[in-house]
C-alpha cells in the first residue's frame, strides 16, 4: 500500500489513531473492539481509513491475530504520546485548577498499587467524592513529563528537574509465612534450613537475595507477578518474602528469620511541577504522602522478634 506522499490524505482524525493503538495492544480486531466499545466492522473501517490516509500497510494477518508492520511499530511511540496527551487534556479540562472535582490518573507498581493504594484511595474518595481516580498498575516507569499520569508512586528517585518528588521512606522486605503453614511445617532455625521448606518467590529475584543468605533459593511456587506471590503466601503455600508494611497488617502472617532483611525498597511520590497548584492533585499528593508514611511506620508490631518455634 505504501505510495507517493502526494497521494495520501493529511491529518487522520484522532479516533483513527485510537483504533490503531487498540489493535496493537489487543492483537486483534475483536479484542480491540471490546476494549474500545466499538463493533468489529466499525473498527475495521477505521483501520482501513487510517491506512488509506497514510498510504501505509499497518497490519498483517497471522495465525494468532493481527501483527503490526515495521512501519506501524515506528509510528507506535508517537501514537502513544498522542494518547497520553489526549488523556491529560481531558483530565485538565474536567476540572478547574482550584476545584475538588475532575479526574486524576495515578500510576504505581503492581505490588504497591494492588496491595497498598486502594485503601488509601478509598479514604480520599470518601473525603472528595467529586474527584474520579484512575489507577494504572505497571512495573515500568511511566513518563510524567509526557503526562502519561498525573501522580506516580515509584521505587526510585526521579532524575528529571521538572518533577516534584517526596521521599516517603524505605520498606524492608523479610520472610513471612501463614500461621497455617507454620502449624504444619514449623519454621526454619537458620537460613540453611530454608531448603527443607516450600518457598514462594520469583526466579528473577533469586540472585538478588543470595547476598543476604549466602546461597541460592529454589522456589516451590513462582509467579512473575508480585500480587500472585502475596496471594500464595496468604494461602499458606509456604514461606515467602513480603514488605513489612503489608505483613504486619495481616494477623495471619508471621515473621520467619526476621533478623534477615532481604532488601529495602524506597518509596517516592512524584508529580509534574506544573500540577502543584492544581488543588485536587495537590490534595491527593498530600493524602498519599501521609498514608504511605503510616504504611511504613505502623501499625505497631515487632517484626524483628524471633520466629515462633514449632
pLDDT tens-digit readout, 245-260? 999 999 999 999 999 9
Statement to judge: residues 270 and 259 lie in one domain: no
Statement to judge: residues 48 and 11 lie in one domain: yes
Tell which of 55, 86, 117 closes a domain: 86
Pick the residue with more confidence: 203 or 72?
Answer: 72
Statement to judge: residues 176 and 219 lie in one domain: yes
State the angle between helix axes of 29-36 and 40-54 in degrees (0 to 180), rounded to the nearest 10.
110
The SS3 of residue 272 is strand
Q: What is the pLDDT of residue 246?
A: 94
Tell which of 86, 120, 143 closes a domain: 86
Statement to judge: residues 114 and 162 lie in one domain: yes
User: Where residue 140 sits, what CATH number does that domain have?
Assistant: 3.40.190.10
Judged against a pLDDT cut of 80, whether residue 88 lies above it is answered with no
Whether the Cβ atoms of residue 254 and residue 237 lie closer than 8 Å to each other: no
| Those residues with Cβ within 8 angstroms of residue 107's Cβ, 6 or more apart along the chain or in another chain | 113, 135, 136, 137, 138, 142, 148, 149, 151, 152, 153
Statement to judge: residues 246 and 276 lie in one domain: no
Q: What are the cell numbers at 162?
A: 521538572
pLDDT tens, 266-290? 999 999 888 888 889 999 999 999 9
Statement to judge: residues 211 and 149 lie in one domain: no
Statement to judge: residues 256 and 205 lie in one domain: yes
Statement to judge: residues 177 and 259 lie in one domain: yes
Structural domain span for residue 70: 5-86
- Count of domains observed in the chain: 3
Mean pLDDT is lowest, of 151-155, 181-185, 268-272, 275-279, for 275-279
Residue 50 counted as domain residue? yes
**Residues 224-250, mean pLDDT to the nearest whole number:** 95
Whether the Cβ atoms of residue 71 and residue 3 lie closer than 8 Å to each other: no
Amino acid at each position: 500500500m505504501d505510495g507517493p506522499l502526494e497521494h495520501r490524505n493529511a491529518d487522520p482524525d484522532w479516533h483513527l489513531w485510537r483504533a490503531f493503538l487498540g489493535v496493537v495492544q489487543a492483537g486483534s480486531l475483536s479484542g480491540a473492539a471490546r476494549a474500545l466499545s466499538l463493533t468489529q466492522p466499525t473498527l475495521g473501517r477505521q483501520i482501513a481509513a487510517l491506512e488509506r490516509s497514510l498510504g501505509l500497510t499497518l497490519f498483517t494477518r497471522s495465525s494468532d491475530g493481527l501483527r503490526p508492520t515495521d512501519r506501524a511499530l515506528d509510528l507506535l511511540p508517537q501514537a502513544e504520546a498522542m494518547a497520553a496527551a489526549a488523556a491529560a487534556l481531558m483530565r485538565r479540562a474536567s476540572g478547574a485548577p482550584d476545584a475538588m472535582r475532575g479526574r486524576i490518573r495515578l500510576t504505581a507498581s503492581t505490588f504497591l498499587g494492588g496491595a497498598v493504594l486502594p485503601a488509601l484511595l478509598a479514604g480520599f474518595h470518601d473525603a472528595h467524592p467529586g474527584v474520579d481516580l484512575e489507577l494504572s498498575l505497571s512495573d515500568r516507569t511511566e513518563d510524567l513529563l509526557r503526562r502519561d499520569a498525573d501522580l506516580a508512586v515509584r521505587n526510585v528517585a526521579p532524575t528529571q528537574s521538572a518533577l516534584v518528588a517526596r521521599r516517603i521512606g524505605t520498606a524492608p522486605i523479610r520472610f513471612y509465612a501463614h500461621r497455617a503453614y507454620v502449624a504444619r511445617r514449623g519454621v526454619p532455625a537458620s537460613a540453611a534450613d530454608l531448603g527443607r521448606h516450600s518457598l514462594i518467590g520469583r526466579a528473577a529475584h533469586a540472585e538478588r537475595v543470595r547476598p543476604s543468605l549466602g546461597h541460592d533459593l529454589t522456589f516451590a511456587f513462582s509467579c512473575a507477578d508480585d500480587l500472585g506471590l502475596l496471594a500464595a503466601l496468604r494461602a499458606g503455600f509456604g514461606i515467602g518474602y513480603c514488605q513489612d508494611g503489608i505483613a504486619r497488617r495481616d494477623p495471619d502472617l508471621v515473621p520467619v528469620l526476621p533478623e534477615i532483611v532481604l532488601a529495602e525498597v524506597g518509596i517516592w511520590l512524584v508529580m509534574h511541577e506544573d500540577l502543584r497548584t492544581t488543588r485536587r492533585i495537590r490534595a491527593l499528593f498530600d493524602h498519599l504522602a501521609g498514608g504511605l508514611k503510616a504504611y511504613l511506620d505502623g501499625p505497631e508490631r515487632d517484626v524483628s522478634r524471633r520466629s515462633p518455634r514449632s
